[in-house]
Structure 1
Amino acid sequence: MKPNDVELKLLSEIMTLKDRLNQIRNGAREYDLSQLIRETNLHVFSRIPTLSPVHHLRAHTSKVHDVVWTPSDKFLITVGGEGLIVVWETQSGMINNVLDVSGVQPITAAASDDARKLYCGGLCANVVLFTSQHRPAEDGYSEYETVLVYEHSGQVNCIVRLDESQLLTAATSDGVLLWDAEQVKVIGRFPQKHSTVCCLSLMTTTIQGASTFLTGASDGTIRLWDLRQPGTMVSQFESHESDVNCVKPLPNGLNFVSGSEDTAIHLYDLRTDIVLSRFSDPQPPSQMQPPEDEIGQVTTQSDVVTAYQSASVCDIAVSASGRMLISGCKDSGLYYWDLIQQDRCVHRETESGPVIRLAMSNQKHAMAMLTWDAKSRIRIMRPR
């Protein structure tokens, strides 16, 4: 059904008011980041290191939903739509263990350093703790057994293991819950009544000592919370125009970046609620380099055009210095960004499917990339 004149008039008025609001916001800013960058004459990278795969991880027979490093970076956890969680050894790229959690209908997971404890959540509205029971080598893989169940009232989207005794989860109807992991008891609630939490990140580069965390929601808003003050939001930041898919802290502990369905990456500072810088550079398929598949065949431009549906930002990886970003998008693009060059990306590559996850290791020595090709591809990437 075509919009009538009244709807078009209202839409025009909304856009006009939105432009006026942006002008007022820009006028209220105390400084312009791009101007400060020009005044300080910072060095601009002429060449940047790109990444190449060192391991191709093949085991899943369905779409893979999540890729998670253990805190020690020794193992990588992948969550498949067929109901399997696979534990990989990151140095060799070999399978360490396989766990059937089809009853949970898994979407995401978290694990201990040694991957002996696995927390899994998904469509079944529960987070389940599985622990590994050692078996002799001749009997095959160690067996995982269900130990505890953390009940929610909706789909579980995020799990963060704080330590042996505390767990942070986000579910569709519950907002964020802080658990006493051993007593299976909720000890803190962080409600978001009118939106769904899409992503969650500790506002620190290490889990130890974390006291604040960020949530990105379906209303485009990013909120800051304090674990020591359940129920009370600390701050709310200038929002995106659509769902927030990822929020990632920078190493300095004061800044963070977010990626959204609106195709934009925002740079924020905890000390102010406005966007410091905005990055968005979706390119037509003709301007992006077609990739080669694993047997040397080049993906045709028609294949790329089919994948080019939206440049929505699915995930972001942050470099060790915090200056470089890599964003993965639904248009199959892998974009490299320099934070002082907000007008364009400094390098871009095309994958053969939407880039769903970019999981940087905790020590920043490698990145796990998940793409949804005809069959999900998981690769561990390192600098060339």
Structure 2
Amino acid sequence: MMACQGLQSGESVASLKRECDNLKKKLEQERGKLNDVELHQLAEKIEVLGSLSIKTRRVLKGHVNKVLCMDWCKDKRRLVSSSQDGKVIIWDGFTLNKENAISVPCTWVMACAYAPSGCAVACGGLDNKCCVYPLSMDKNENLSAKKKAVALHTNYVSACAFTNSDNQLLTSSGDGSCALWDVESGQLLQSFHGHSGDVLSLDLAPSETGNTFVSGGCDKKANVWDMRSGQNIQSFENHESDINCVKYYPSGDAFASASDDATIRFYDLRADREVAVYQKDNIIFGASTVDFSLSGRLLFGGYNDYTINVWDVLKGTRTSVLFGHENRVSRVRVSPDGTALCSASWDHTLRIWA
């Protein structure tokens, strides 16, 4: 009854749905008219990349269950990881030492992020909350006693990221929304509604202003948002299954999405369309995570068949496969200076490749 009250005479919910579908088709046709050339066709004259010798240089062992997320500190040395064992560990990537271990009151700590200053970490998971823990050099200090509960969703927290300062935190959740929070007060600054299923991943635009971010979810959509207005400014629905991870290109003009449909797709925001698909017939397992090299020429994709595939972004070809993990790769992240890659896995370990 409520839904039908605002209808004009001669209108029904079914007729409005039909109109909506027709408008969507028209939009796709208009997008199709601009679809002049694929990325790999433009890159035909560019030299092929030589073989890469990327090897495991460090193995970080300390978790006793699936490692679900990790993030680099801006100092290019320390890392934070979160696991299904209810632990968040701060690592020294050079010495393999564990600098801190935080016990979180729930298992499945699905999201973790380092603050830009390196003085705090955020983490969240199945308890629907995202908390910020200030870090200290005193190993005996109880960090759990100093935590700040910042974000509260009505379902699990799937991803979190600090904006360009320690003062604001962006979260995505299984309740189908993303939200921007003030760290100090825990106040909700802006909420973002537009997904019709669980939001599984988000990534902040790499510009200094950082006013946009992209999110991907179970509704197969990748949405670009304006953080100031809360508006969904671009939307892409090319995947055939859940989008597990989204990641901006280093320039901020494009982004990639990894999906359970075993493909990674690349979208140009200026052209408002998909410009490349990274897939092979012999890759049948879902892509769980994705990241770019510092130059943007390489794309690293972590898959459910325990491998990391390295793709040439311009050519669309696979340049190498990294073997080493013994279970699903849940996260890959290139270090801030671009010299190393860290991967987290359900085999309870993290690996640093270089």
Does TM-score exceed 0.5, indicating one fold?
Answer: yes
1:80 to 79, 83, 89: 83
| CA separation of 1:170 and 1:338: change in aligned 2, threshold 3 A | same
Q: Which moved more, 1:119-128 or 1:273-282?
A: 273-282
Q: Distance in 1 between matches of 2:87 and 2:63?
A: 7
1:330, CA displacement in angstroms? Answer: 0.8
CA RMSD, 1 decimal: 2.4
Tell me how far apart the structure 2 counterparts of residues 134 and 55 of structure 1 sit (CA, whole Å): 23
Q: What does 1:21-36 align with in structure 2 at a 5 Å threshold?
A: 28-33=33-38, 34-36=40-42
Q: Is 1:152 the equivalent of 2:114?
A: no
TM-score (norm 1): 0.78
TM-score for the superposition, normalised by structure 2: 0.84
Task: Give the drift of 1:27.
Answer: 5.7
Residue 349 of structure 2 corresponds to residue 345 of structure 1:
no
Count of residue pairs the alignment pairs up: 324
In the alignment, is residue 366 of structure 1 matched against residue 340 of structure 2?
Answer: yes
Opposite residue 37 of structure 2, the aligned amino acid is D
Match of 2:297 in 1: 323
Task: Give the structure 1 partner of residue 310 of structure 2.
Answer: 336
The residue aligned with 1:244 is 243
Partner residue, 2:221 = 221
Task: Select which of 105, 110, 115 maps to 2:113.
Answer: 110
* Higher mean C-alpha deviation, range 140-149 or range 86-95: 140-149
Distance 1:114 1:347, change over 3 A: same
Does structure 2 retain, via aligned residues, the 8 Å contact 1:152–1:174? no
Unaligned residue ranges in structure 1 (runs of 5+) = 1-19, 285-309
Q: Is 1:167 the counterpart of 2:140 in the alignment?
A: no
| CA–CA separation in structure 1 for the residues paired with 2:155 and 2:32 | 42
Q: Which residue of structure 1 lines up, in the alignment, with residue 253 of structure 2?
A: 254
Is 1:42 aligned to residue 46 of structure 2?
yes
C-alpha deviations, 1:223-272, integer Å up to 9, x for none? 11111112x11111242111111111112221221111111111111113
Considering fraction of residues, name the structure with more helix: 1
Q: Which residue does 1:266 correspond to in 2? A: 265
- Shift in Å, 1:165: 1.6
User: Taking every aligned residue pair, what percent have the same amino acid on both sides?
Assistant: 24
Q: 1:64-109 deviations in whole A, cap 9, x for unaligned?
A: 1111112332310111211111100122221111111134752211
- Cα offset for 1:115? 4.5
Amino acid at match of 1:52: K
Say if 1:242 and 1:78 are closer, same or farther in 2 by CA, change over 3 A.
same
Following the alignment from structure 1 to structure 2, what is the Cα–Cα distance between the partners of residues 25 and 333? Answer: 38
> 3-state DSSP class of the match of 1:96?
strand
The aligned amino acid for 1:234 is I
* 1:184–1:323 distance in 2 versus 1, CA, 3 Å: same
User: SS of the counterpart of 2:301?
Assistant: strand
